[in-house]
Structure 1
Amino acid sequence: MKMIVGLGNIGQKYAQTRHNIGFMVVDKILAEKKVSLKQTKQAAMIAQTTINAEKVLLVEPTTYMNDSGIAVKALMDYYNIDLADVLIIHDDMDRPMGQLRLRQKGSAGGHNGLKSIIAHTGSSEFKRLKFGIDHPQHNQEAVVNYVLGKFSKEQQASLEDGIILAMQMIEYWLTTADFQKTMNKFN
């Protein structure tokens, strides 16, 4: 079983914000597959589906971004999922709006959700789908307000195109069962 985790913050206050792009991609997959999330004891909302004959666990942690690792680790343990079968979808301020990048491993790069996952799993060697959201001014207050803000009208087309591309990347990975090949095709 593969586990696809969209990172974000729970609650209506954060819906459709830049930091919730992971949730938005998972929500699009849920809509395509006509499945719904359900609450678990592992601090997450989950749905199980099949994509190209591969069992997939779709996940949205309910811990808020900074504690995402709690849910990721608990679900890995509960479903006996290896870290090699986990894909984390998250926002990336170091990429232009709508630009996507697949990575097999790496540092947290200042992303608190990734820091939490690394801390709870004890490893930085997990697959990521980075979704570019642009970068605001370089002071911390501007960054916080920016990631917790909604996408601008100018960003909407790139957002929608990026979500479609993210779904294509995920489907290709699940079809080929080869992340390196998927990276070579899309990066």
Structure 2
Amino acid sequence: MKLIVGLGNPGAQYEKTRHNVGFHVVDFLATTYSMRWERHGRAMIANGTIHGEKVVLVKPTTFMNNSGEAVGELVRWFKLDPGDLLVIYDELDLPLGQMRLRGSGSSGGHNGINSLISHLHTNEFPRLRVGIGRSAHAKSDTVKHVLGVPGNEERIDLEISERKAADAVPLYLEKGLDATMNLINVDPEAQRKAEEKKRLKLERREQEKRLKAERLAQEAASKQSEQDQQQSENSSVSD
């Protein structure tokens, strides 16, 4: 069994903020796989199965900075190891549209992850970070940014990212951590360059094949011409 934990803040005033990306992702999973939310201690949970794996979706109701209290209780209740978690949350240091899957690591200054590390007594748990980017204004207050509601265009881009993150969860459950990391931890620009390099390589290979075919055709035509000329000369001698 896996706990799929989305981090966020409860309450209507936080519902559409950037900081609630984790909540949005597990909400999307609950809808997709027809799971019903119910209260369990200091969290909302939804039980179900994804790709044959029993999962419990989790939204802590302790507010972001105390997320570890609720998650720690659930880990002990279900008798799970920290490695059975997948924690999904927002990441300032990733551009909008990018995400990163890791098996462990520091909090990177994220208060929700700080709380989990404190209450689980380890940083050895998988986490999926969804990029929200930093404010375009260098002097903008970070707290105002993460707790702010994105504008219409950014909201659309963020929803696309959240759906991509939700799609990564069944992939993770089916293929495991390492294989999924290799599939989704790709920088878009690096991927574009790799695809362009691959395209150029294929074009070069096709060009080489075409030139080789033309050369062989020319050699065959030249050989046939020599044979025809030789036959013509032989015919002249016979006459």
TM-score (norm 1): 0.95
Which SS does the other structure have where 1:34 is aligned?
A: coil
Runs of 4+ in 1 over 2 A off after TM superposition: 136-139
**C-alpha distance in structure 1 between counterparts of 2:154 and 2:102, whole Å:** 24
- Asked if 1:179 is matched to 2:204, the reply is no
- 3-state SS of paired residue (1:146): helix
Aligned to 1:68: 67
Please identify which structure carries the higher strand content.
1
2:46 corresponds in structure 1 to 47
Structure 1 residue identity aligned to 2:65 = N
Matches within 5 A, 1:101-120: 101-120=100-119
Q: C-alpha distance in 1, partners of 2:149/2:106?
A: 26
Normalized per residue, the structure richer in helix is 2
Matches within 5 A, 1:71-82: 71-82=70-81
Which runs of 5 or more structure 1 residues have no equivalent in the other structure?
Answer: none
The equivalent residue for 2:218 is none
Residue 105 of structure 1 aligns to a residue in which SS? coil
CA distance in 2, matches of 1:53, 1:3: 14
Structure 1 residue aligned with 2:231? none
Q: Alignment identity in percent?
A: 44
State how 1:74-93 maps to structure 2 within 5 Å: 74-93=73-92
Q: Which residue of 1 is the match for residue 197 of structure 2?
A: none
Aligned partner of 1:168 in structure 2 is 167
Please tell me whether residue 125 in structure 1 is matched to residue 124 in structure 2. Answer: yes
Instruction: Give the partner amino acid of 1:181.
Output: A
Structure 1 position 16, deviation (Å):
1.1
1:67 shift after superposition: 0.2
* Structure 2 CA distance for partners of 1:44 and 1:138, relative to 1, 3 Å: farther
Letter matched to residue 90 of structure 1: Y
Deviation at 1:138, TM superposition (A): 5.4
The answer to whether the aligner puts 1:13 opposite 2:13 as a matched pair is: yes
CA offsets 1:36-61 (integer angstroms, 9 cap, x no match): 211112x1000110001000000000
Closer, same or farther in 2 for the Cα pair 1:138/1:128, shift >3 Å?
farther
Alignment-derived partner of residue 205 in structure 2: none
Q: Supply the RMSD in Å over aligned alpha carbons.
A: 1.2
Query: Which amino acid is the alignment partner of residue 94 of structure 1?
Result: D
Total equivalences in the alignment: 184
Residue of structure 1 equivalent to 2:219:
none
The whole-number CA distance in structure 2 between the counterparts of 1:62 and 1:14 is: 12
Bigger CA drift: 28-37 or 64-73?
28-37
Matches of 2:63 and 2:138, distance apart in 1: 24
TM-score (norm 2): 0.75
Quick one: higher RCO (CA 8 Å, sep 6+), 1 or 2?
A: 1
Aligned residue for 1:56?
Answer: 55
Unaligned runs of 5+ in 2: 186-239
- How big is the shift at 1:149? 0.7
